[in-house]
Amino acid sequence: MIVLDASLIIAQLDTTDAHHHAATQLLADNTFETWAASAVTLAEVLVGPARRGQGERVNNLLTRWGVHVVAVPHDAPVRLAALRSTTPLKLPDCCVLLAALQHGAAVATFDNRLAEAARSQGLRVVPIPD
């Protein structure tokens, strides 16, 4: 399983994003993996489309891509607070990290701080294609 960060999903959705090609290649290179994202990450991704009245359409597209929603666990407040207090990450990135930790999953991100935090927790970080 690979937990996707919002930056990667947004780059894939936006053909004008500077990371679009890399996101496309990363997903193509990992088509046999299960893709997942925290419910909070998906909400973050859907803010822009929702503003344009496209939230449901983009959510359906992500479902067709096979992106599974990782639910926020009951102990999330304590676990997220611990991650937030011991890493340089903001709360949305802590949600990505927690989702990966819940499933022992790899992390795919363009954010170097998130990648380093994932590695420090013993998680694999999917290499970003050139």
Q: Which of 78, 77, 75, 115 is nearest to 96 (CA)?
A: 115
Q: Is residue 126 part of a domain?
A: no
Q: Is residue 56 part of a domain?
A: yes
Single pTM value for the model: 0.95
Q: Is residue 109 part of a domain?
A: yes
Written as tens digits, the pLDDT of the chain (130 aa) is: 999 999 999 999 999 999 999 999 999 999 999 999 999 999 999 999 999 999 999 999 999 999 999 999 999 999 999 999 999 999 999 999 999 999 999 999 999 999 999 999 999 999 998 8
Structural domain tally of the chain? 1
Q: Is residue 129 part of a domain?
A: no
Q: Is residue 130 part of a domain?
A: no
Q: Which of 40, 10, 18 is nearest to 108 (CA)?
A: 10
CATH number at residue 13: 3.40.50.1010
Residue 23 domain boundaries: 2-120
In this prediction, residue 130 carries a pLDDT of 80
Q: Which of 72, 68, 59 is nearest to 102 (CA)?
A: 72
Locate tokens 């997942």: which residue?
A: 36
